[in-house]
Amino acid sequence: MPELDTDPFAAAAASAAALAQRTGQSRHDIAVVLGSGWAPAADALGAAVAEVPLTELGGFPQPAVAGHVAAVRSVRLGDRQAMVFLGRVHLYEGHSPASVVHGVRTAVAAGCTTVMLTNAAGGIRADLRPGQPVLISDQLNLTGKSPLTGLPPGATDGRPLFTDLSEVYSKRLRDAARATEPTLTEGVYAALTGPQYETPAEIRMLRTMGADLVGMSTVLEAIAARHLGAEVLGLSLVTNVAAGLSEQKLDHQDVLATGRDSAARLGVLLASILAEVG
């Protein structure tokens, strides 16, 4: 297995080959990454052709956070094949950017041209409430990290290192999602490293910067997907009101509970969006 830090694209190709062998599917068309508490929504996407532990594919560290399952499902969606990651790893677990985006790079190596990223997020904008899904229109990467930093010469898979992020989240896919569910609103997602939740002062700063949502994932995966030419659709589930905007204390168990309570509805929403955005 090639090393992630020395040749991340060769490592992704090796993981994609292992996925094809274990699922019996020569390629996949769409990738879905499920965020904290989203895993139960996968059941609504359809019957799994196969479910593979990520540890069998090489390059994937074990998620250590509740609400994330270390497995990927291969699911038939009409005439397309989707790979659904039931969890992800994060920078705050001590992982490198290469590890955080290995799933997305594996998906593109497996043939995916569309990547759907989901997450649990704190709502900053006044009209956002817990349990509400929000399309991500743009992002603020405040992690201080990039999956493109330190790539060895010649290891960029033929793509320019200086990636255009004028449209991180595809307008075409967002329009298709809203055609499926017209009530979906949009927002700008800001990512910090965590794992601590933000202070009220940090939330005021983020609001001033134009953020509507805040979380600890997604942005590096979006950069990696765009670098490889995949279209990206982002969907946040508002699981709490951000710090200082309500009297309620923030707790990860509440985040997971909101995800569980919304799982069936989110699964139906995901299935309808994926049917539309191909």
- Which member of 36, 74, 99, 170 is catalytic? 36
Angstrom distance (rounded) from CA 201 to CA 1: 45
Q: 3-class DSSP state for residue 180?
A: helix
Told to judge if 36 belongs to the known catalytic residues of this protein, a careful annotator would answer: yes
Query: Quick one: which H or E segment has residue 133?
Result: strand 133-141
68 included as an active-site residue: yes
Is residue 137 part of the annotated active site? The answer reads: no
217 classed as catalytic:
yes
Choose the catalytic residue: 12, 41, 216, 271.
Answer: 216
| Residue 38 to residues 84, 123, 158, 236, 270, Cα–Cα distance (Å) | 11, 17, 34, 10, 11
Options 28, 90, 95, 102, the catalytic residue: 90
The active-site residue, picked from 141, 217, 236, 262, is 217
Establish whether 93 is a catalytic residue.
yes
User: Can 262 be counted among the known catalytic residues?
Assistant: no
Catalytic residue among 92, 167, 181, 257: 92
Active site residue 216: yes
In the set 252, 257, 272, 276, the catalytic residue is 252
Look up 205 and say whether it is catalytic.
no
120 catalytic per annotation: yes
- Among residues 11, 120, 177, 230, which one is catalytic? 120
Pairing relation of β-strands 71-77 and 48-53? antiparallel
Q: For residue 189, list its beta bridge partners.
A: 139, 213
Q: Is 186 a catalytic residue?
A: no
Residue 33 token pair:
């990454």
Active-site option among 31, 240, 262, 263: 240
Contact status, residue 33 vs residue 60, Cβ threshold 8 Å:
no
Residue tagged active-site, from 51, 93, 181, 186: 93
Catalytic residues: 36, 68, 90, 92-93, 120, 216-217, 240, 252
